[in-house]
Structure 1
Amino acid sequence: MLAVAEVPERPPGPLLMRLNSSRGLNVVFDHDHTSLQQGPEDDFEEDIGFENFQRAVKDAISLANYDISAYDTAWVARIPKVFAGENLVPHFPEALQWVERNQKDDGSWGELQPINKFDEYFSTLSCLIALKTWNVGHESVAKGEQYLQEKLVTLGDKELKYVSHGAKVAFAAMLEDAEKLGLSLSSPSSSSPLPCVENLRSYRTKVLERLKTFADVIADCPKKLLSFPEGLEPVLDWEGIGDLQFEDGSIFSSPAATACFIMRTKDSKAMNYLTSLIGRFNDAVPCMYPTPLSEILSIVDHLERLNIDRYFSAEIRELLDILHRQSELHGYDHDDLPSEDIETQAMIFRALREYQYDVTPETFLLEGISSGQIGELGARGMLQLYRASELIFPGELLLDYTRNVTTVSLRNILNTTTDPALKKEVEDALHSPHFMQFRPFESMKYIDRFDSSVEANETYFEMTFSRLMHKLNPLMVAFAKVNFNKCQAIYQEELQALTKWDDDHLRNAYNFQRQPLLPAFLAGAVGMPDPKLALARSVWTRGSVLVTVIDDLFDEATLHDGIQGLRLFHESIKRWDPSIVDSCCGPVKTLARLLMSEVDCLCKEASEAQGRDLTPFLRSIWQDVIAEFLTEAEWNDSGYQPSSEEYLRTGSISFGLGPITLYTIFCYGEHISDEMLDNNDYLDAFDLVNRYGRLINDLRTHSREVLGMHNSFISVYEREHPKLSKQEAYAGVQNLLKGLASKVFSQLLNSRYTSQAVRDVHLAMIRSLYLMYYEVDGYRFTSHELKKQIQRFFYKRFSCE
């Protein structure tokens, strides 16, 4: 059971934690506190609006959507055409004409529905500079000046908190350009400079001064800044930027950055890139073209890690459908990094496999590995390839090889890097599989990293030149905070109801060896975080508590009527007749009656959710578990030593996952037919998950089980392999567990699985088992890191200021 060493301060919500090292972690409630603490989450809706945010993200992960950018088009319009001995004229007059034609009625430029007001100011200033550069559109310039004069007066930290560092620097650079051109942005009624203008200029000055100290600005500059090179003109080596030029001639797929590069270098390849865009998009350009698949998939990965991907599930599925169809045709109909780019291919493979598409690693990785690309990858590419290799199915030698190579490479990076963000990312990757992590826990970790990041540092996600990613980052993190806080409030209410249930029905009925409520609900909440899955979380938690309590009863048979009392308990459950235990001691009698009563309540909820009576089937699941509890108790009572297969056959059922997973599946919100549960794929997966649970539990509880004279798979394995040392036997069981995990993935991530509920609940169980037993028995002893996660998850809100 979770044991926490120190008592925390009283949290600000309705929950109080009472900690007792001898009895584990309990939860009680301050019943005088009647309302949940409220936060400033509504500010996000007021400042940005969920619909605007959702639209921006959907556009970003679309393969076909390229909205025109007034900001970038204005930059293209500024490029001069050079004639020897003659005056300069625009190289792209059509772009300049587009700017003149597309001013809005209020004097601004930009999208009809900008994601925030800063984007509108950003585009407007860029367009004003383009018109003023060529001394055209005087009426438009006057209207635009008036618009910015009115708006910049109110521009402050509130509007800038959702703006990337690179965009702030680029805006400050444009303010200087505007001043040189004679544009008037200050209010005519005030002679003093605008505070926001001065603050942005000061910020850019500090950034430039710091960059001047770098031996190699291009190599050392954070990509969140370098992705906007037009803001860093005084300190950049523009010829050096050319070394980063993409194959299509662009600078980071950005028309604005490419235009700035052309004005400094007159690069013909870059000019050809912009010429093709002007023709393709009818005299204008988008903000980024093309959007590399790696960047689109990075955004999807970002949404998942921040636990907000459920808001974009249809768009993600549409994207992956396209990628899967194109992979089957052995090519990508997308102006993108070439299909043989192994980093991109690793990202595609991992995304498709996680979403149950039928894919093989050879289709995506064999060519890149055979051609030696793996040796040319940087840290980010190695991480992507390593994460792809984690989703290995039995017999996939290519992924096994990939895992070994990338592990060695990442360990070398860990020993040599001085980048704290990269070091932390690699440490996390090598410590535990990414696919085994719970997204709500990951979201806490990554929000913290973004919050602590300044323009001098970067998170893993920011190690890219994609200005689209950097533009969306602050918005996604801000929304992730809103999502986390709102979900936390929901979980607190659910935990309050479950604690009352525990107090009313169980806490006084039996002197528990363990206090399972909090770890059970924790696993349900992080494994099924969607707010709409409240019933599933409740059923999961109550089933887990009941399994733990009855398991403890059978483990302590000598204290409660001995083996005969347990036989009567089993007979009572087998016949579903509480009178059979009337002659037993208090705990046996009380818990038998309590179990039947609570199971019938759960059966009723599951039956109502499915629209048919499931009581006989769901009772039989408990009857099977109790029967195997009794078998193990009789083994221990008689000293019988089972074979490994016999032990696993019994132990995988007695581990008690059936009453948790099956009941939860029925309450998940999906219709589950009898045919689904009779399907061989389902039965195999259910058996594999149970065996995985038994093995990972035994690896962490072996010493205690031996002291208690109980069987353990470790002791059985040692007995069957007498030539092995204890360490070798332990390693052998670990390898068995690793193989089981691979088999579980091959079942649950198989495209034949049509039930999302079956897949999700079993994956939640696998992850919860890993969480609780990876390092120690989390039901009795808790790692320091997990203690912090628990405290944070249930009791600490994110500041949305």
Structure 2
Amino acid sequence: MFGKVQLSSSSYDTAWVAMVPSRGALKEPLFPESVDWIMQNQHPNGSWGLNPSHPLLVKDSLSSTLACLLALQKWKVGEQLVQKGLDFISSNHFYVNDKQQPSPIGFDIVFPGMVSKAIELGLNLPLDTALVDIMLSNAEHKVKSFRDKSRIAYVAEAFGEAHSWKEVMTHQRSNGSLFNSPATTAPSLIHLSDDKSVEYLRSLLCLYGRSGTRLHIILRSFPTVYPFDIYSRLSVVDTVMKLGIDRHFGVEIESVLSETYRSWQQRNEEIFLDVTCCASAFRLLRMHGYEVGSDALAEFVDEEHFFSTVGMRYTNASTILELYKAAEIRIFQREPILEKIHDWTSNFLKNELLNRAIYDERLRNEVLGIILLPSCVPAGVPISIMGSFLHWRWKILTAAKPYTAKNFSNLRSIDTNAYLFREFNKISLLTGHNACITRWVKDTRMDQLGLDWHVLYSSHFMVASVHFAPEFSDARIGWSKISVIATIVDDMFDIDGTREELLNIIELVEKWDEYSSADYSSDRNKIVFSALYDTINNDLAPKAFAKQGRCVKHHLINLNLVMMKCMLKEVDWWTENLAPGIDEYLFNGTATIGCGIYFTVHFLLGPELTENVLSSEEYANLYYYIGRVARPMNDYRSDERESVERKVNLCSLLVNQSNGSLTKEDAIVEVRNMIESSRREVLRMMLQTQESSVPKAVKESVWKLSKFCHYLYARGDEFRTPVLGKDDIKKIFYEPINLSQHPRESF
């Protein structure tokens, strides 16, 4: 998968190459093998193109078919094929002006241009005269509106002899092509002689050739874009990361990224003259710790400038989404280039959704999950910023969207494999330890305390989504148990615990092995403490010892003790009507929201956490900033309820301590900014390699937790009262993928 990846053959590009005349004999094609390929690859319905039966590829088929008809008509071959092609156009011509159909880039200019060329060649197109006049007029008007000459050059095949072909050639790249596009390069050779362009096309012959059905005939086709190595290999890296199997391909991924980084430093044209490739390279390189500056994306800062220059050549929703995702990787507090790109791309994609302009369902769902405000996302749409395990399942069951250029094309050689399905189902079974945890709940009598069973599943779903690899089984089960105990404790402090009970449970944890000297103030306290004591002493501590090589039981105890003391402080604020400072509230809230006890999993992941690491400023900052993601998110979603209950809440604190300068709406904006700033800091720390003592696995764990927080609080509190989560939990734990129902498909 990580080798050279080819695009499928492009009928459209092959047709334009087939029209190039031989230098010595203008009445003969320079690439006769391509003419033969066209004659051998017409679909039964008379069309050419990627997929004649796909309902959203009709314009692609129309464009490819007309180009192939021009080639056959020019060399006066394939009369029956021409007639079948004309019949296809006759049956589908009404799609030409259908705005609901996705268009290959430049279709509104190139297709009318090909119509004019067909008329010159005497090809009797079955198109209404009025339709032709409208197409030609609209195309002429659009060309006149271009302010950037490269936009015209990119669709140069639409123009004939009167066009300034010498000016077009000023856009020639070092490899001899125009925009790495055979369909743009070939027409220049119809009007000009250029050795570099010929050499570029000849270099593709050996890559896209195969034996024909007739003896002694070699068929040659061309892709829609070449070279494509960098972007295609980055796509493989991105795919295996989304599928959650990147841990199996560390060497291959590092090889791809190191080669890409060298190309980045050399300002390789393949990266910097392609928006999608440039944005993808920036995102993946930065996410893997390479130092890439945002200046490389400066050309894309201004929306109007973007669409008046490079935008016309490459733009579709997929490209803009890639730019948006690149702009998301902001690791410094001030990155104005990325901030501006983020603003306009998010607005653009929102408008595309609102205007129903994204026709590919899979792409539309991805944009929905990433761009729209979480409260606007319809139920059932996966939120791709959540834990990658659920996203993996969604990705496996999702067919690929085609790579878009002047015509649609699919990546070849990147196929799903039965391995992916088996791996998913294997992990799904491993994460399905719910029966074990359910048995533990009953054995410890926790079920007698009014436990909402969905909390048990939510706890396991949360940690399984972040740490889903088989080797993290101990961490998943351990966290699930601690989380259930913490939820019961939280209800005691937050809802119905007496003051005596609260002080008593803290005392029991403080004394720990000397707990017998403290009487239980209630049967509930006895159940809770006994469950916590047994879980840490007999389960977590021994497993952590095996991972860490030393006893860390005191750390596991202290994480729970700090949480309880912070919960008691919140009770005091609430009952005594006290207003803490913002920083004090957030630091305290980091523990009460559960971030502290989440750090339990770090002792079970594998990397050694020395005392120096645990006491370091870097480790403390991880705790600090994840709290500034999780607590504000929770408060934002629970503000209305907690205002009625007169509980301390970040939103109300900001308003009350502003001396009237902040409204509730202002406070919400400030909370969102705080979340974004903290999320960015967690990402920066995760990517930091120099002067970092915290193991990367631990930092990645915190980063993944910050992403999952977005999922938890997308519409409400998915941990306490799951809505979307109910269906997702069912899919993860109880619906293994049936390979027979989902055959291999290309990504």
TM-score, L = length of structure 1: 0.65
Judge conservation of contact 1:697–1:773 (CA < 8 Å) in 2: yes
Alpha-carbon contact 2:300-2:341 (below 8 Å) kept = no
Contact 2:172 2:179 in 1 (8 A): no
For 1:356 and 1:428, the matched residues in 2 are separated by 26
> Which residue is equivalent to 1:800?
742
Equivalent residue letter for 1:60:
V
Equivalent in 337, 342, 348 of residue 281 of structure 2: 348
Q: Structure 2 counterpart of 1:487, which letter?
A: I
Distance 2:472 2:368 in 1: 33
For residues 434 and 115 of structure 2, what CA distance do their matches in structure 1 show?
57
Matched, 1:664 2:601: yes
Q: Secondary structure at the match of 2:500?
A: helix
Distance 1:247 1:405 in 2: 30
CA distance in 1, matches of 2:115, 2:158: 18
Amino acid at match of 1:582: D
Contact 1:514 1:780 in 2 (8 A): no
C-alpha spacing 1:247/1:308, structure 2 compared with 1 (3 Å): farther
* Other-structure match for 2:391: 442
2:5/2:232 contact within 8 Å kept:
no
Segments of structure 2 that go 5 or more residues without pairing to the other structure are: 41-52, 72-83, 121-154, 160-167, 210-221, 375-382
Q: Alignment partner of 2:605: what SS?
A: coil
Counterpart in the other structure of 2:219: none
Q: Matched residue of 1:584: which SS?
A: coil
Question: How many angstroms apart in 2 are the aligned matches of 1:607 and 1:734?
Answer: 40
Q: Report the equivalent of 1:182.
A: none
2:4 match: secondary structure: helix
Equivalent in 285, 289, 300 of residue 237 of structure 2? 300
**What's the offset of the Cα at 1:762?**
0.5
Once residues 283 and 398 of structure 1 are traced to their aligned partners in structure 2, the CA distance between those partners, rounded to angstroms, is: 39
Q: Which residue of 2 aligns with 1:111?
A: none
Among 252, 255, 270, the residue aligned to 1:336: 270
> Which of 656, 659, 668 is matched with 1:730 structurally?
668
Superimposed CA distance per residue, residues 291-345 of structure 1 (whole angstroms, 9 cap, x where no aligned partner): 1644443443344344444443432222222333454x4x33x4525x2655433
Per mean C-alpha deviation after superposition, the further-off stretch among 602-611 and 734-743 is: 734-743
Return 5+ residue gaps in structure 1 as ranges. 1-53, 97-125, 134-159, 178-202, 452-458
Worse-matched range after superposition: 564-573 or 284-293: 284-293
Report the alpha carbon displacement of residue 593 of structure 1 after superposing the two structures with TM. 1.9
2: CA distance between counterparts of 1:85 and 1:584? 100
Summarize the alignment of residues 9-24 of structure 1 with structure 2, pairs less than 5 Å apart: none
Number of the residue aligned with 1:275: 199
Partner of residue 591 from structure 1, selected from 528, 538, 553:
528
Report the 3-state secondary structure (helix = DSSP H, G, I; strand = E; otherwise coil) of the residue aligned with 2:719. Answer: coil
* Partner Cα distance (2:709, 2:733) in 1: 20
Distance 1:684 1:294, change over 3 A: same
Residue 5 of structure 2 aligns with which residue?
Answer: 60
1:151 aligns with none
Equivalent residues in 2 for 1:139-158, closer than 5 Å = none
Q: CA deviation at 1:688?
A: 0.8
1:626 aligns with 2:564: yes
**Does 2:260 correspond to 1:323?**
yes
Residue matched to 2:411: 470
Q: CA shift at 1:639, angstroms? A: 4.0
Give the secondary structure class of the aligned counterpart of 2:399. Answer: helix
Residue 82 of structure 1, CA deviation? 6.2
Paired position in structure 2 for 1:143: none
- Report the Cα distance in structure 1 between the residues aligned to 2:584 and 2:26, rounded to whole angstroms: 94
Alpha-carbon distance in 2 for matches of 1:479, 1:207: 41
Aligned counterpart, 2:293: 360
Deviation at 1:564, TM superposition (A): 2.2
The AA in structure 1 aligned to 2:345 is T
Q: Secondary structure at the match of 1:431?
A: coil
Q: 1:344, 1:556 → 2: CA distance?
A: 53
- What RMSD, in angstroms, separates the aligned Cα atoms of the two structures? 5.0
- 2: CA distance between counterparts of 1:444 and 1:210? 39
Structure 1's 718 and 242: CA in aligned 2 closer, same or farther, altered over 3 A?
Answer: same
Q: Which residue of 2 aligns with 1:609?
A: 547
| Counterparts of 2:575 and 2:615, CA distance in 1 | 35
Q: What is the alpha-carbon distance in structure 1 between the residues aligned to residue 703 and residue 207 of structure 2?
A: 50
CA contact (8 A) 2:431 2:464 kept: yes
Worse overlay, 301-310 or 496-505: 301-310
- Inter-partner Cα distance in structure 2 for 1:418 and 1:477: 32
Query: C-alpha separation between the residues in 2 aligned to 1:749 and 1:690?
Result: 19
Task: Return closer, same or farther for 1:463/1:79 CA change in 2, 3 Å cut-off.
Answer: closer
TM-score (norm 2): 0.70
> Could you say what secondary structure the match of 1:659 adopts?
helix
CA distance in 2, matches of 1:394, 1:584: 49
Q: Does 1:291 align with 2:248?
A: no
Per the TM alignment, residue 684 of structure 1 is displaced from its structure 2 partner at its CA by 0.9
Query: C-alpha deviations, 1:131-182, integer Å up to 9, x for none?
Result: x99xxxxxxxxxxxxxxxxxxxxxxxxxx99xx9999x99xx99xx9xxxxx
Distance in 2 (alpha carbons) for counterparts of 1:429 and 1:481: 25
Shift of 1:667: 1.9
Matched, 1:565 2:501: yes
Q: CA deviation at 1:419?
A: 3.6
Matched residues, percent identical?
Answer: 22
**Contact 1:524-1:537 within 8 A present in 2 as well:** yes
* Native 8 Å contact 1:490 1:531 kept in 2: yes
AA at the equivalent of 1:531: P
1:431 matched to 2:372? The reply is yes
In structure 1, what is the equivalent of residue 126 of structure 2?
A: none
Cα distance 1:467–1:486, how it changes in 2: closer, same or farther (>3 A)? farther
Give 1:608 deviation, angstroms.
0.8
Whether the 8 Å contact between 1:389 and 1:403 is mirrored in structure 2 is: yes
Matched, 1:389 2:338: no
CA distance in 1, matches of 2:589, 2:25: 87
Specify the alignment match of 1:153 in structure 2: none
Tell me which residue corresponds to 1:242. Answer: 157
What SS class does the counterpart of residue 60 from structure 1 fall into? coil
CA shift at 1:757, angstroms?
Answer: 1.2
CA 1:370–1:655: 2 relative to 1, 3 Å: closer
- With over 3 angstroms needed to count, the CA separation of the structure-2 counterparts of 1:508 and 1:786, relative to structure 1, is closer
Q: How far apart, in 2, do the equivalents of 1:507 and 1:596 lie?
A: 13
**Structure-2 separation of matches of 1:513 and 1:284:** 60
Equivalent residue letter for 2:412: K
Residue by residue over 1:224-251, the C-alpha shift from the partner in whole angstroms, topping out at 9 and shown as x without a partner, is 9x9xx9xxx9999799783599945659
Structure 1 counterpart of 2:136: none
User: Quick check: 1:652 aligned with 2:590?
Assistant: yes
Partner SS, residue 291 of structure 2 = coil
